[in-house]
Amino acid sequence: MGVKTIMVIGAGQMGAGIAQVCAQAGYEVFLNDLKPEFVERGLSGIKKNLNRNVDKGRMTAAQMEAAVSRIAASTDLQDAGKADLVIEAAVENIDIKAKIFAQLDEIAPEHAILASNTSSLPITEIAAATKRPEKVIGMHFMNPVPVMKLVEIIRGLATAEEVYQTIEEITKTLDKVPVEVNDFPGFVSNRILMPMINEAIYTLYEGVAEKEAIDEVMKLGMNHPMGPLTLADFIGLDTCLYIMETLHEGFGDDKYRPCPLLRKYVKAGWLGKKSGRGFYTYE
């Protein structure tokens, strides 16, 4: 199953990162979002990242220009008609994703694989919105995409073996490490990470220690590169809350109940680094 053209839906931090690594690997890429300014912001971030790589001697100016030239801006979902693989990186909401996949199913060529970068939602349920569930798969990239090596690959109930093998091979061409994971809420990464972050928030909520102390304990004591509260700010507290709710609903177990302080911050619009304030304040 030859893949030459990849369409990425969503030009935010994750989508732009996915588009960048695909273009660097030699694929023709459509970077799609709802508005031209969203796509432009994504492209601007990609160029800034690649420029940094040139400055650090990781790539030449010619390689950077070649990668950028392979990315086409798109605000029309009909461009999926030219793609061999579509990677959806839209907002983490099952209704929105199901709607996108139903539309892609109508537009994308019969041979095209439809992948989701969901961090916690069931691939089987997303696939059910299409008439090609055997060609639907999860590709969960880690943030920041250009730096992080892991991609969790998630088979839905109906995902074909050939589709899995193709996606595994493509992941390797992106210089990433594919890891096969079964279709359970949160997969492996977020099923383990998010309850840890949630517990750190409970520790703050219950007054066990100050935020700096909690982060310091995990950095120095557990050798984590950043503390869980800082990490939550980087991920986005709204995303953390949504994943905890997905885990809580999916497993029906109170150990996944989101901390009230997390809910409070999200309602206040304190979403972390992207909003300028979360557990910490960002200029």
Cite the residue boundaries of each domain of the chain with CATH code 1.10.1040.10: 190-275
Run of H or E including 153: strand 150-155
User: 117 catalytic, yes or no?
Assistant: no
- 134 an active-site residue? no
Q: What is the pLDDT of residues 28-51, one digit of tens each?
A: 999 999 999 999 999 999 999 999
Q: What is the pLDDT of residue 78?
A: 98
What is the reported pTM?
A: 0.92
Delimit the CATH 3.40.50.720 region(s) of the chain: 5-181
Q: Could you say which of 116, 120, 190, 198 is catalytic?
A: 190
207 is in an annotated binding site: no
Segments in the chain forming alpha helices (H): 13-24, 36-55, 61-69, 94-107, 123-127, 161-173, 189-205, 211-216, 222, 228-235, 237-251, 260-267
**Catalytic site includes residue 248:** no
Task: Specify the pLDDT at position 197.
Answer: 98
Catalytic residue among 88, 120, 152, 198: 152
> Is 149 assigned to a binding site?
no
> Side chain identity at 217, as an amino acid letter?
V
| Contact in structure between 90 and 10 (CB atoms under 8 Å) | yes
What confidence tens digit (pLDDT) does each residue in 240-283 have?
A: 999 999 999 999 999 999 999 999 999 999 999 999 999 999 98
Total H helices, total E strands in the chain: 12, 8
Examine the residue annotation and report whether 190 is marked as an active-site residue of this protein: yes
CATH number attached to the domain at 5-181? 3.40.50.720
The reply, when asked if residue 143 is annotated as ligand binding, is: yes
> What tokens does 65 get?
């220009």
Q: Is the dihedral of CA 197, 256, 242, 30 positive or negative?
A: positive
120 is in an annotated binding site: no
Q: Is 172 annotated as a binding residue?
A: no
CATH superfamily for 190-275 is N-(1-d-carboxylethyl)-l-norvaline Dehydrogenase; domain 2 (1.10.1040.10)
Residue 15 marked as a ligand binder = yes
Spatial contact of 30 and 8, defined as CB atoms under 8 Å apart? yes
Separation between Cα atoms, residue 79 and residue 86, nearest integer Å: 10
Binding residue per annotation — 62?
no
From the CB of residue 202, how many other CB atoms can be counted at a distance below 10 Å?
16
Q: Is position 97 annotated in a ligand binding site? A: yes
What span, in angstroms and rounded, lies between the C-alpha atoms of 267 and 84? Answer: 40
Catalytic choice (49, 117, 119, 198): 119
The model's pLDDT over 214-235, given as tens digits with 9 standing for 90+, comes to 999 999 999 999 999 999 999 9
Please tell me which residue in 140, 162, 245, 249 is annotated as part of the active site: 140
Task: Check residue 150 and report its DSSP letter.
Answer: E
CA–CA distance, 216 with 77 (Å, rounded to integer): 45
CA–CA dist 221, 30 (Å, integer): 44
Q: How far apart (Å, rounded) are the C-alpha atoms in residues 269 and 39? A: 24
Helix (H, G, I), strand (E, B) or coil at 95: helix
Over pLDDT 70: what percentage of the chain? 100
- Would the pLDDT of 1 be above 80? no
Q: Which amino acid is at 18?
A: I
